[in-house]
Every structure is written in C-alpha cells, then in structure tokens.
Amino acid sequence: MTRIRELNKWANANTCITLDLLRFFLGGFLFLKGISFIVDKKYLHEILNTVGNFGSEMLLIHYVAMAHMAGGVMIIIGFLTRWSIWVQLPILFGALIINFIGEFNTSDFVQSMLALATSIFFIFFGSGKHSVDYYLKMEE
C-alpha cells in the first residue's frame, strides 16, 4: 500500500495534460464501447456465440454495457478512477480470452489489449491532478 501511495504522490507531482488526455480517451473508449453494445446487441451476441452456448447472455450483455458506460464516465471525469477500472478488468480480461477461445479477431484483440494495458497503468497511476478525486482530496 505504501508503494501505491508513493506512486500516487509522484504522479500528482509530475502530472501532465497528456496523461489526463489518455485517461479521458480510455473513459471515452469504454463509454462508446458500452453504447455500441446496446445499439448493436447482435455484435456482442456473435462474439459470445464463438465461445459456445452461454446461458445468461442477456445478463452479461447488460452488465458489460452498463459497466462500460458508467465506468467510462467516471474515468473521464476522474471520479473513483481506480474503483471504476477494477470493475472493468474482468470485462477486459474476458475480451482478451474470447479471442483465444473462439475465432481470433485482430482488431478486437488489439483494442482489448490496449484498453487493458492502459487500465492497469491507471490502477497504479491514479486519476491524476486534473480530476474530481484530486479536487475532493484537496478540499479536505
């Protein structure tokens, strides 16, 4: 825990707008992915069918869509960023694994790999200086 606290202090001291933009783009990507899963349910249905017959498919579709949309907005504004990313991790790991179980889709693999790597980075880095988390911490 002290190591994460040290990384967070370093991040707040050495933050730049580029990392805030990266957080913003990650949140925007997840939000748009959630919207695309709602708009085009067939796409996610096809992805899940490559794995096999999945019993709770509609429940999973709704969980993925809502987690991406709510988490995306929270990551964009920097509110509870680490918690939001922890909710995204099982989805991103699942997206990565589905590529190896079913039909390999290079585009989906690259997207899920970049989103996963960026998410893991922000678990250690935190939300940065230009975020709601930092603002609320300074108000205390």
Maximum distance among all alpha carbons in the chain? 51
The model's pLDDT over 107-122, given as tens digits with 9 standing for 90+, comes to 889 999 999 999 999 9
User: CA–CA distance from 48 to each of 8, 17, 62, 98, 111 (Å)?
Assistant: 37, 37, 13, 8, 17
Residue 86 confidence (pLDDT) above 90 = yes
CA nearest neighbour of 101 among 45, 43, 50, 42:
50
Q: Residue 22: pLDDT band by 50, 70, 90 thresholds?
A: very high
Q: Buried (b) or exposed (e) across 98-115, using 16+ Cβ within 10 A?
A: bbeeeeeeeeeeebbeeb
51-67: per-residue pLDDT in tens?
666 667 777 788 888 99
- Say what the pTM is: 0.82
